[in-house]
Amino acid sequence: MQVALDDYAWAAGVATGLVNTTAEVWRGDDRLPDTAALVAFADLHGGRSARPGTGEALAGLARRAGAAELYAVRELRGPVRELIDRPRRGRLITGATALTGSGRGAALVGDPAHPGRTGWAVGLREGAGIAEALSLVCGVGILGTVRALGEERFRPCGAPACRGAFIDTTRPGRRRYCMPGLCGNRANVADHRARKARPS
């Protein structure tokens, strides 16, 4: 499996999705309770990669995961969340570089979307499992975002009472919610109720 450095926005999206599966975000309900949930997570996020092969490789690794791998993936969420929560540039670079420790060096590879063009990619070490693959993806996502967009793109969710966090890779950089479809709607409903409750 290879993670292209140009694919950092996708990789950062995987990191955001991963940290927002925790029981802390879902009020006691861990969204990665078993390996079936891990497979569903890998299918969902793998399918969003623009790079042919990366998503399939991620999904394949998830299907081979046992209890120990699932545990390692769940444990990975803590250090990734720590980086998003305290986004100082040096810390982000050191922490995310450590996350890419499961990679085996950078290589120039062809860009499937642009024939004749090449880009940097980091390969996953031989024999690595889904936890190491996700660690590499998160590391690349964080490093790519720091380089291209800056450390102010690491933020807590703006919805009241939501404990989620996200990496904003949108062009204008005005994303407000960890899960825009869900937290954005919740925030709108709360605003609406507050307006209605106010005496006019």
Cα 65 to the center of its chain, rounded Å: 19
- Among 162, 165, 167, 187, interactor with Zn ion by CB under 5 A: 162
Q: 41 or 177, CB closer to Zn ion?
A: 177
Q: Is residue 167 near Zn ion by the rule CB under 5 A? A: no
Angle CA 175–178–179, to nearest 5: 100
Quote the least distance from Cβ 98 to Zn ion, whole Å. 27
- Among 4, 157, 165, 187, interactor with Zn ion by CB under 5 A: 157
Quote the least distance from Cβ 96 to Zn ion, whole Å. 22
3-state SS, 83-129, equals HHHCCCHHHHHHHHHHHHHHEEEEEEEECCCCCCCEEEEEEECCCCC
Q: How far apart, in whole angstroms, are the C-alpha atoms of residue 139 and residue 148?
A: 14
Q: Is residue 131 near Zn ion by the rule CB under 5 A? A: no
- Among 9, 62, 96, 183, interactor with Zn ion by CB under 5 A: 183
Q: What residues make contact with Zn ion under the rule CB under 5 A? A: 157, 159, 162, 164, 177-178, 183
